[in-house]
């Protein structure tokens, strides 16, 4: 019967904690769904909403015109460069022809007085002037390109400044959004945490304590992990501060409870052994006998061999190692059954040998 009682107690404990964990898991899943829906209570800011679209549109048009002008000037530049290359080739060819003509021509007169030489030299100068004219246009075109590129760069800088301004506004609004979401979650989770603490303190010994304990586990998870996704930079301080307060509060409560229990036990030990024996509950008596401690003061009632030296008699009585009265508080521990004379634990209701009612018919053990 004792073995079955142990199995029942162990199985019950497993079932109770399983109920608590399963309940907390489903509550966590439900809370995650609810918290996810709460996040949509305030709209998420978008970067495009903080851009000055009118200014950016004007700057884009200006930039587009500069790009178009730059493209046209580059096309002209390519054409002029090709023309200059052609003019330079013509000049080289004409100069080569002129040099060859001078070497092969033989004249008796002075070359600088020769009319054909002068005409050829003038023609060569004209080819050179044509190339120089196109090169002058190319230089002017390069100047225009430089001025247009400078204006284009100014437009790009203005666009970049507008984007940076929009990013700062977006970043500021995003922080406000995260704060709103955090406060909404905190308003949802804080009462759950308070309720979980209340359940733990008030109903931890209730007959339905696994349900309350499961809710307490859920409330702790919801507070310390449910606020994570949108936790602001200072959100950690909130969690750690609450953790410190909970640790200090529960620690104070635990210390006060233990102190009250000790004081209660000390007060009980001042009462007579008869009164204390009446207040011993059967569940406490079963655990006391199983773990061989006094149900009143909690001290071990089994004597060690060096505390109770054995006699030379052949009698092998294990109860010689057990005291009939507690050595520390004087409470009666064992008494004999009046029917069969068997020694029994004084705080259990029936004799282990004959089943006699120990409360009515019993006498102190010898």
Q: In this structure, are 188 and 331 located in the same domain? A: no
Per-residue confidence at 53, pLDDT binned at 50, 70, 90?
A: confident
Q: Is the pLDDT of residue 364 over 60?
A: no
Q: What is the pLDDT of residue 178?
A: 79
Domain region containing 128: 21-226
Residue-averaged pLDDT of the chain? 76
Per-residue confidence at 2, pLDDT binned at 50, 70, 90?
A: very low
Q: What is the pLDDT of residue 111?
A: 52
Q: How far apart are CA 251 and CA 244, in angstroms?
A: 10
Q: Which residue has the tokens 């200072």?
A: 234
Q: Is the pLDDT of residue 235 over 70?
A: no
Q: In this structure, are 30 and 105 located in the same domain? A: yes
Find the range with the poorest average confidence among 130-139, 306-315, 339-348: 306-315
Q: In this structure, are 265 and 281 located in the same domain? A: no
Q: Is the pLDDT of residue 62 over 60?
A: yes
Going by C-beta distance under 8 Å and a sequence separation of 6 or more, which residues neighbour residue 350? 356, 357, 358
Q: How far apart are CA 205 and CA 16, in angstroms?
A: 13
Q: What is the pLDDT of residue 315?
A: 43
CA-nearest of 314, 349, 318 to 335 is 349
Q: In this structure, are 204 and 244 located in the same domain? A: no
Q: In this structure, are 365 and 241 located in the same domain? A: no
Per-residue pLDDT reduced to its tens digit, 245-259: 878 877 787 788 878
Q: How far apart are CA 6 and CA 290, in angstroms?
A: 10
Per-residue confidence at 271, pLDDT binned at 50, 70, 90?
A: low
Dihedral angle computed from the Cα positions of residues 82, 85, 91 and 92, in that order, rounded to the nearest 10 degrees? -150
Q: In this structure, are 187 and 240 located in the same domain? A: no
Q: In this structure, are 28 and 67 located in the same domain? A: yes
Q: How far apart are CA 110 and CA 65, in angstroms?
A: 61
The answer to the question of residue 8 being in a domain is no
Q: What is the pLDDT of residue 108?
A: 42
The answer to the question of residue 39 being in a domain is yes
pTM of the predicted protein model: 0.48
The answer to the question of residue 177 being in a domain is yes
Give, in degrees to the nearest 5, the angle at Cα 222 between 217 and 225.
110
Phi/psi class of residue 285: alpha, beta or left (left: φ > 0; alpha: ψ in -120 to 50)? Answer: alpha
Q: Reading across the β-sheet that carries 343-345, which strands appear in turn? A: 343-345, 334-337, 362-364
Give the residue from 168, 201, 226 where a domain finishes.
226
Q: How far apart are CA 1 and CA 215, in angstroms?
A: 35
Phi and psi at residue 268, to the nearest 5°? -65, -35
Q: In this structure, are 281 and 255 located in the same domain? A: no
Q: In this structure, are 205 and 302 located in the same domain? A: no
Per-residue pLDDT reduced to its tens digit, 323-356: 778 877 777 778 888 778 788 777 777 887 787 7
Q: Is the pLDDT of residue 138 over 70?
A: yes
Give, in degrees to the nearest 5, the angle at Cα 159 between 156 and 160.
85
Q: How far apart are CA 326 and CA 266, in angstroms?
A: 15
- Tokens standing for residue 322: 């057990």
Q: How far apart are CA 107 and CA 237, in angstroms?
A: 107
Q: Are 347 and 363 in contact (CB under 8 A)?
A: no
Q: Is the pLDDT of residue 32 over 70?
A: yes
Q: In this structure, are 43 and 165 located in the same domain? A: yes
What percent of the chain has pLDDT above 90?
A: 1
Which element (helix H / strand E) includes 178? helix 115-203
Q: Are 166 and 51 in contact (CB under 8 A)?
A: yes
Per-residue pLDDT reduced to its tens digit, 6-20: 576 778 888 888 998
Q: How far apart are CA 250 and CA 257, in angstroms?
A: 10
Q: Which has the higher per-residue pLDDT, 170 or 366? A: 170
Burial 226-253 (b: 16+ CB within 10 A, else e): bbeebeeeebeebeeeeeeeeeeeeeee
Q: Is the pLDDT of residue 103 over 80?
A: no
Per-residue pLDDT reduced to its tens digit, 175-227: 888 788 878 888 888 888 889 888 888 888 888 888 988 998 898 888 877 76
Per-residue pLDDT reduced to its tens digit, 312-332: 444 444 445 677 788 777 777
130: helix, strand or coil: helix
Q: What is the pLDDT of residue 22?
A: 92
Q: Are 285 and 347 in contact (CB under 8 A)?
A: yes
The answer to the question of residue 320 being in a domain is yes
> Counting Cβ atoms within 10 Å, is residue 345 exposed (0-12), middle (13-18) or buried (19+)?
middle
Which element (helix H / strand E) includes 23? helix 2-38
Number of domains in the chain: 3
Q: How far apart are CA 321 and CA 298, in angstroms?
A: 18
The answer to the question of residue 4 being in a domain is no
The answer to the question of residue 149 being in a domain is yes
The answer to the question of residue 189 being in a domain is yes
Q: What is the pLDDT of residue 105?
A: 59
The answer to the question of residue 6 being in a domain is no
Question: How does strand 343-345 pair with strand 362-364?
Answer: unpaired
Q: In this structure, are 244 and 111 located in the same domain? A: no
Q: Are 319 and 343 in contact (CB under 8 A)?
A: yes
Mean pLDDT of 50-69: 86
Find the range with the poorest average confidence among 50-59, 238-247, 309-318: 309-318
Q: Which residue has the tokens 């080819």?
A: 127
Q: Is the pLDDT of residue 70 over 60?
A: yes
Q: In this structure, are 244 and 101 located in the same domain? A: no
Give the residue from 226, 261, 295 where a domain finishes.
226
């Amino acid at each position: 019967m004792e073995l079955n009682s142990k199995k029942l107690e162990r199985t019950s404990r497993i079932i109770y904690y399983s109920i608590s964990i399963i309940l907390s898991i489903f509550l966590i899943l439900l809370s995650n769904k609810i918290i996810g829906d709460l996040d949509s209570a305030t709209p998420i800011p978008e970067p495009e909403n903080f851009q000055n679209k009118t200014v950016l549109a004007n700057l884009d048009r200006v930039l587009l015109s500069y790009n178009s002008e730059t493209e046209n000037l580059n096309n002209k530049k390519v054409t002029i460069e090709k023309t200059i290359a052609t003019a330079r080739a013509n000049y080289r060819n004409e100069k080569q022809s002129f040099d060859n003509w001078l070497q092969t021509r033989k004249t008796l007169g002075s070359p600088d007085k020769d009319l054909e030489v002068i005409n050829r030299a003038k023609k060569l100068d004209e080819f050179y002037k044509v190339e120089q004219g196109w090169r002058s246009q190319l230089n002017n075109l390069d100047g225009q390109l430089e001025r247009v590129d400078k204006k284009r760069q100014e437009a790009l800088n203005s666009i970049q400044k507008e984007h940076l301004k929009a990013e700062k506004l977006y970043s500021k609004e995003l922080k406000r959004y995260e704060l709103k979401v955090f406060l909404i979650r905190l308003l949802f989770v804080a009462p759950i945490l308070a309720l979980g603490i209340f359940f733990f303190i008030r109903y931890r010994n209730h007959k339905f304590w696994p349900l309350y304990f499961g809710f307490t586990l859920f409330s702790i998870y919801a507070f310390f992990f449910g606020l994570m996704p949108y936790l602001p930079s200072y959100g950690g301080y909130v969690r750690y501060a609450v953790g410190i307060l909970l640790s200090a509060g529960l620690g104070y409560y635990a210390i006060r409870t233990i102190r009250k229990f000790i004081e209660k036990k000390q007060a009980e030990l001042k009462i007579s052994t008869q009164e204390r024996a009446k207040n011993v509950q059967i569940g406490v008596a079963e655990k006391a006998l199983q773990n061989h401690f006094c149900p009143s003061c909690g001290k071990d009632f089994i004597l060690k061999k060096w505390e109770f030296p054995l006699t030379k008699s052949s009698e092998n009585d294990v109860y010689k190692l057990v005291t009939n009265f507690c050595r520390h508080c004087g409470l009666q521990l064992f008494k004999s059954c009046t029917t069969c004379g068997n020694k029994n634990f004084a705080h259990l209701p029936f004799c282990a040998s004959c089943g006699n009612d120990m409360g009515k018919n019993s006498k102190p053990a010898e």
